[in-house]
Structure 1
Amino acid sequence: MKPFIVLLSVFAISLLTIKLLEGNYQFALSARIAMSVMLLFTAIAHFAFTKGMAMMLPSSIPYKTEIVYLTGIIEIAAALGLLFPSISTLTGWLLIAFFILILPANIYAAIHHIDYQKGTFEGKRKSYLWFRVPLQILFIIWVYFSTIAV
């Protein structure tokens, strides 16, 4: 839920700030700024809650910790790429692929009640874990309309 709140808050602030500074609304730019900040916010979890994030991957997957760090770095790179018009479309396509690739980890976490912040299988708010699935679909749509369909 926190990434969603960050996304919407930064979108609203960006939209209003750009309107005040430039005199018009720039929805796609505001959406890219919001997604960038949200990605930086979620990337922090990869480094702060590495153990719990690694638990989101099935035991059959090797190098879990390294994958968690790598996906955090990918989120940071994508956050930066969205801000450069010359590569924002390519970044958008790669980010959509990334969201699709990490969706199974979120489903696995929901099924196994993983509390990634505590690193346990006792997630209190199981509904939140399932909320992440439609949230990722929203992220995919958000990225598509702010980078590709513009």
Structure 2
Amino acid sequence: MSGEHEMARNLLQQEPGRENRHVNAAGTPRLAHRKSKRHKSGKSYIVTPSAGEPFRIFVLGRDRWALDELRKARGKGCTPIENPAPRWSAYIFNLRELGVEIETIREPHEGYFPGSHGRYVLRSQVTPIRAGGAY
């Protein structure tokens, strides 16, 4: 590689002064942002699977919302088309990781963008735990 210009492999060598590009306003403390209280509201449930012993889970945020929507829908189930949410598949994945049985039924749909979507149906019995631990 004689005669060719060799490129620096380190960004600090490529752009001198790069290490000093991040600054804070004078007198501004560097604090991590706190999440609002609405994100901390979780709920405990007793999950009774089709086979096995009941167990307890604690769910919060959008996963809790999705579980409550599935409970309300009962055997009808929920679809992203009828009940829009940004990440239904992620909420279902997270709930399945906790041990909640959820069936995905593929359904075709028409319109400007024909294809198929999933209908999520709760197959475990899920009971919220009331305050004080009784259910």
TM-score normalised by structure 1 residue count: 0.24
* Structure that is richer in helix per residue: 1
* Structure that is richer in strand per residue: 2
TM-score normalised by structure 2 residue count: 0.25
Higher RCO, 1 vs 2 (CA within 8 Å, ≥6 residues apart) = 1
